[in-house]
Structure 1
Amino acid sequence: MRYIMKISVVLLLFLSTLAHGQGQKDYSPSPENLETRHWFQEVRFGLFIHWGVYSILGDGEWVMNNQNISIDAYEKLPTFFNPVAFDAEEWVKMAKDAGMKYITITSRHHDGFSMFDTKANSYDIVDGTPYGKDVLKQLADACHKEGIKLFFYYSLLDWHSDDYYPRGRTGTNISGRNAGDWDNYISFMKTQLTELLTNYGDIAGIWFDGHWDQKEWDGKKFGKLQVDWHYDEIYKLIHDLQPQCLIGNNHHLAPIEGEDFQMFEKDLPGKNTTGFGTPASDIGQLPLEVCETINGSWGFNLQDRSHKSEKELVHYMVKAAGHGSNLLLNVGPMPNGKIQEEHKESLKKMGQWMRENGETIYATSAGPVPPTEEMASTQKEKTIYLHLLEQDDKVFVKDFDLNIKTVKLYKDKSTLVHQKNGFGLLVQIPKDKLDPLDTIIEITLK
Structure 2
Amino acid sequence: MHNLVILLVSLVLLGAPLAARAYEPTPENLAAREWFQDAKFGVFLHWGVYSVLERGEWVMNIEKITVADYEPIAERFNPTEFDADAWCRLFKAAGAKYVTITSKHHDGFAMWDSKVTDWDIVDRTPYGKDVLKQLAEACKRHDLKLFFYHSQLDWRHPDYFPRGRTGQTAGRPDEGDFDKYVDFMNAQLSELLGGEYGEVAGIWFDGWWDQQSKNFKETKDAPVKQTRIDWRLDETYALIHRLQPAALIGSNHHVEPFAGEDFQMFERDLPGQNKGGFSPDAVIGQLPLETCDTINGAWGYNAGDHRHKSVSQLVGYLVRAAGLNANLLLNVGPKPDGTIDDVSAERLRGVGEWLDQYGETIYGTRGGPISPQAWGVTTAKPGTIYVHLLKRPDADGEGWTTLAGAGELSGRALKVFEGGEAVESRAGDDGSLAVRLPQADSEAIDMVLVATGD
For normalisation by structure 2, the TM-score amounts to: 0.90
Which of 218, 242, 245 in structure 2 is aligned with 1:243? 245
| Secondary structure, counterpart of 1:55 in structure 2 | helix
Which of 186, 203, 211 in structure 1 is aligned with 2:208? 211
Which residue in 2 is equivalent to 1:338?
339
CA deviations over 1:232-252 (Å, ceiling 9, x no partner): 110000000000000001100
Contact 2:323 2:367 in 1 (8 A): yes
CA deviations over 1:13-58 (Å, ceiling 9, x no partner): xxxxxxxxxx863110001101100100101000100000000111
**CA pair 350-24 structure 1, distance change in 2 beyond 3 A:** farther
Offset, 1:147: 1.3
| Secondary structure, counterpart of 1:350 in structure 2 | helix
Q: How does 1:91-130 map to 2 (within 5 A)?
A: 91-130=87-126
Q: Which amino acid aligns with 1:259?
A: E
Which of 178, 182, 188 in structure 2 is aligned with 1:186? 182
Which residue in 1 is equivalent to 2:49?
53
Which of 427, 434, 437 in structure 2 is aligned with 1:426? 434
Which residue in 2 is equivalent to 1:174?
170
| Secondary structure, counterpart of 2:106 in structure 1 | coil
Which residue in 2 is equivalent to 1:83?
79
Which residue in 2 is equivalent to 1:29?
25
Q: Which amino acid aligns with 1:240?
A: R
CA deviations over 1:164-207 (Å, ceiling 9, x no partner): 01100111122245421111101101110000001201001000
| Secondary structure, counterpart of 1:443 in structure 2 | strand
Aligned length, in residue pairs: 424
Q: Which amino acid aligns with 1:438?
A: D
| Secondary structure, counterpart of 2:103 in structure 1 | strand
Report which stretch shifted further, 355-364 or 174-183. Answer: 174-183
Which residue in 2 is equivalent to 1:277?
279
CA deviations over 1:309-339 (Å, ceiling 9, x no partner): 0110011001000000000000000000000
| Secondary structure, counterpart of 2:236 in structure 1 | helix
Q: How does 1:381-420 map to 2 (within 5 A)?
A: 381-392=382-393, 393=395, 394-398=401-405, 400-402=407-409, 404-420=411-427
Which of 143, 146, 161 in structure 1 is aligned with 2:139? 143
Which residue in 2 is equivalent to 1:438?
446
CA deviations over 1:99-128 (Å, ceiling 9, x no partner): 100000000000011100101110000001
Which residue in 2 is equivalent to 1:226?
228
Q: Which amino acid aligns with 2:266?
A: F
Which residue in 2 is equivalent to 1:4?
none
| Secondary structure, counterpart of 1:142 in structure 2 | helix
Contact 1:161 1:177 in 2 (8 A): no
Contact 1:24 1:258 in 2 (8 A): no
| Secondary structure, counterpart of 1:441 in structure 2 | strand
CA deviations over 1:119-154 (Å, ceiling 9, x no partner): 111000000100000000000000111111100000
CA deviations over 1:323-361 (Å, ceiling 9, x no partner): 000000000000000001000000001110001001000
Question: Which whole-Å CA distance do the structure 2 matches of 1:157 and 1:396 have between them?
Answer: 46
Q: Which amino acid aligns with 2:21?
A: K
Report which stretch shifted further, 180-189 or 326-335. Answer: 180-189
Structure 1 runs not aligned, ≥5 long: 1-22
Q: Which amino acid aligns with 1:164?
A: Y
Which residue in 1 is equivalent to 2:315?
314
Q: Which amino acid aligns with 2:267?
A: E
| Secondary structure, counterpart of 2:85 in structure 1 | helix
Report which stretch shifted further, 166-175 or 400-409. Answer: 400-409
Question: Which whole-Å CA distance do the structure 2 matches of 1:373 and 1:87 have between them?
Answer: 42
Q: Which amino acid aligns with 2:426?
A: Q
Q: Which amino acid aligns with 2:162?
A: P
Contact 2:410 2:426 in 1 (8 A): no
**CA pair 74-123 structure 1, distance change in 2 beyond 3 A:** same
CA deviations over 1:67-99 (Å, ceiling 9, x no partner): 000111100111111000000011111111111
CA RMSD of aligned residues (A): 1.8
Contact 1:401 1:422 in 2 (8 A): no
**CA pair 81-206 structure 1, distance change in 2 beyond 3 A:** same
Percent of paired sites with the same residue:
50
Offset, 1:275: 1.7
Report which stretch shifted further, 93-102 or 397-406. Answer: 397-406
Which residue in 2 is equivalent to 1:18?
none
Offset, 1:279: 4.6
